[in-house]
Chain A
Amino acid sequence: QVQLVESGGGLVKPGGSLRLSCAASGFTFSDYYMSWIRQAPGKGLEWVSYISSSGSTIYYADSVKGRFTISRDNAKNSLYLQMNSLRAEDTAVYYCARRWELLDYWGQGTLVTVSS
């Protein structure tokens, strides 16, 4: 069965960095676009970024462009999100999800808290 497991979240100070990982299993990872979606506490869902199956096509939400970098390692069935220059408004649960248009499988999420 399809499984997505995020890790790497935690407490970080404003201006700091974190790298999130998403380990995929149960499907041919290299065949699929992958996405990061976030949800601030008590709020709705916000698309963050996605990456094509080969990694050649990448898009970011304006709110994170220039600060976040998405990448993948198809040999390791893993998706990553490098987050730099973090701000308080980046505090959220970060989910990885399969595909970019209809998000058919989601991980359980990892919480990122940006606070001094």
Chain B
Amino acid sequence: EIVMTQSPATLSVSPGERATLSCRASQSVSSNLAWYQQKPGQAPRLLIYGASTRATGIPARFSGSGSGTEFTLTISSLQSEDFAVYYCQQYNNWPRITFGQGTRLEIK
């Protein structure tokens, strides 16, 4: 099983600032990586797939990068609605997908 490790567990950032979230895979997943956002009481929402492609309707302030084992989600200028939990997920290892444990992005 591919283990996905996210860091930090909690990130405190002020509105308007940049947030950088990290995700590491225990073995290469190529670019088969997705990012999700989850707000309290809601289902996760797909943000990024293919490591760097924004999903439909996702604002340009969200960007993804990386390949292999190291990935980054960057939110360029945090808005109030961006404070949430973010999960990375690999889909390279057919048939079993795995998620990271999540990074909580909170208001500083």
Contacts and interface: CB of A to CB of B under 8 A. Distances in A.
Interface residues of B, number: 22
A102 B43 contact: no
Contact of A106 (B34, B43, B55): B43
Secondary structure at chain B's binding surface: helix, strand, loop or mixed? loop
A31 interface: no
Contacts of A44: 87, 99-102
A95 B106 CA distance: 25
Interface residues of A, number: 18
Interface string A94-116: 01000011111111110000000
A59 B96 contact: yes
A89 interface: no
A101 B91 contact: yes
Contacts, number: 51
B6 to A, nearest CB: 9
Secondary structure at chain A's binding surface: helix, strand, loop or mixed? loop
A95 B42 CA distance: 11
A61 interface: yes
Interface stretch (B44-52, B64-72, B76-84): B44-52
A46 interface: yes
Interface in A60-114: 61, 95, 100-109
23 contacts: A44-B101, A45-B36, A45-B87, A45-B89, A45-B99, A47-B96, A47-B97, A95-B43, A100-B97, A101-B34, A101-B91, A102-B46, A102-B49, A102-B50, A102-B91, A103-B34, A103-B36, A103-B44, A103-B46, A104-B55, A105-B46, A106-B43, A108-B42
